[in-house]
Chain A
Amino acid sequence: MLEVSNLDCVRGERHLFHDVSFLLRSGEGLLITGENGSGKTSLLRMLVGLTPPFAGTINWKTRLIKHLGAEYRRELLYCGHPLGLKDSLSATENLQSIASLVNEPVELSVVQDALERIGLQGSAHMPVRALSQGQKRRVSLARLFLSRRTLWVLDEPLTALDTKASQHVAQAVDRHLDDGGIAVITTHQDMALASPLQTMRIGA
C-alpha cells in the first residue's frame, strides 16, 4: 500500500505542485498527467526516494519510505527518463548486469525470453549504441518482464515506442495489477489498459 499525503514540490524558486495526496492499494494503478514542466518527473523521483519531498509524507505499508530504505527499494522498479543502459554493452548484457547488481541474477534464456516478449529478439546481441531510440526504450522496459517487484514507477514509458510495443507494455501493466501489484505511471499518450486506473492531473 502506497500512501502519499500533502506532497509539495519546490524546484529552486518555482512551486511546481502543492498538496498532492493519493492512496494506492494492492492491484491499483495511478496515471499522472500534466503539462511539460508541471513536475511529473519530480513527483516520481520523490516516490522512489531519490528526491526528498519539500513537504508531506510518503508511506509504504504504513511506514515512511525514508525509514524503510533498502526494504522499500527491494520492492520497487523505476524506469526513468535516462534509460540506465550502457551504450557499449548489448541488450542481454545490460539486463543481466542490472539484474546481478540488484542481487537477482537471471539466466540468459530468461533475458532472451523477456526481450522476445517486447519484440527485440533480433538485436539482443548488438551493442545498445547501435539501436534506435525506441529499441533502447524497449530494452529498458524488458525489465518489467524480469522482475517480481510490487511497485512499478514508470516515467513516460511509451516515449518513442510504436503501437505494438505500447500494447505489450500496457499488457504487462495489466498483468502486474491483476497479480496484486501497484503501478504509478506518467504519460502523454493513451494507454490501452484493461484495468481501470485512477487518474490525476498535476500542475495548474
Chain B
Amino acid sequence: MKKIMDCISAALFFMLLFMFALATIVKSDLSQTAQKYSGMPAARAAESFAADNFPIPGNWNVIYSATAIMMGQKTISGVFVDKDRLIDVITEKEAESYTDQTEIVNSFAQKYPDKTIYAMVVPTASGIYSADIPEFDPAVDQQKLIDDIYFALDGRIITLDAYNPLFSLRDEYVYFRTDSRWTSLGAFLVYGRVAPRMGLEPLNISNYDIEYADRSFYGDLYRKIRYGGVKADTINVFRNKYGSYVTGVAASADGQEFDSGSVYFRQALSQQDKYAYFLGGDYFEKVTVTTSNTSAPRLLIIKGDYANCLAPFLTPHYSEITLVDPARLDGRPLSEIADPTQYDQVMFLFDAEDFLRGEGFDGIAK
C-alpha cells in the first residue's frame, strides 16, 4: 500500500510539473519571445519567460494574496490592504521628484503668457487616508507635498485645492475601494469647491440624477494583487436632470478616431478596466468634448487619469474641452496633438502620483 501511495505521489508531482511546463511553452508566443528577452542574460531570460508565461496567472495571485493577508502581511506589491479598501501608497522617496515637472509647467506658462492657466494636483487615497496607514509605511504627507508643488509653480498659475474638500468628506465614497482613482462623487465635491476659483458658478447636486452604472467594478489595485477581501466598487454617474450639454465626443488613439455622443462610454462596462467608462480612461491620447454652450470659452486639460471623472462636470461651462494625456504623446510635442493657442484656458490636472511620475512631460516642454 505504501509503495502504491509513493508511486502515486511521485507520478502526481512530476505530471503536474510537466503539464504546467508544457502549458507555459504552449501559451507563450515563441516568435515574440526571442525579441522580448533579447539583451537579457540567458539565465535571467529563461526565468522571466517561465514567470511571465505561466498559465492562469490571476488564479495564482488570488491564492497568494489571500494567504499572505491571512498571514498578517499588509502590503502586497506596494498596495496597502486596509480593512475596507486597497491603497496605493506614495512613499517619501517617490515624492522627491517633482522639480522637473514644476519647471515644465512654469515654462509652459511663460510660453503662453496670455492664457489663463490652472493647476490642480489631486491627492490620492494614500494622502487622504494616511491615518489608516501604519506609521512604519512611509506614506508621504500629500497635503504638504501638494503645497510644495504649488509653491514651486509660477505665481500666475492659478492653483486649485482638491485636498481639503476631499479630506473633509473622506468618510463619503470619494475614492474607489479597489482602484487607485477617485469616484464621480469625489470629483463632483472638488468641482463644487474649485469652480468659484475658476470664475464659474458650479451646478448644485440637485441638478443631477445619480445613476449606478455598475455595481461590480474591481479596479486596477484589485487587478494588481487580486485580493478579494474588499467589496466591489460601484460606478456612479451624475446625469444632468435637465439634459446633457454634450453634443459630441471625438477621441483618438494610435492614429484611429472614435466618436461618441456621451462622455460616458457604456461599452467600457464590459471591459476589464471599467474606469474607461469615463472618457475612455487612459486609453486615448486626445479627447475633445464639444458642448451646446457655444459662447463659452474653450479649455485644454493636460491630464492624468483623474481628469476623466472631473471633465463631465465642466461641460456646462465650456464650449469645448480637450483632454490630452502627455503619457501617450510618445515623444511628440503637445502642440502637434492640441495647439494651446487655440484655447482660452489651460488646466494641468493630475493626481499626485501621476504628477510625480511625470510621464511624457517632455512633450509639454517642446
Do A and B bind?
no
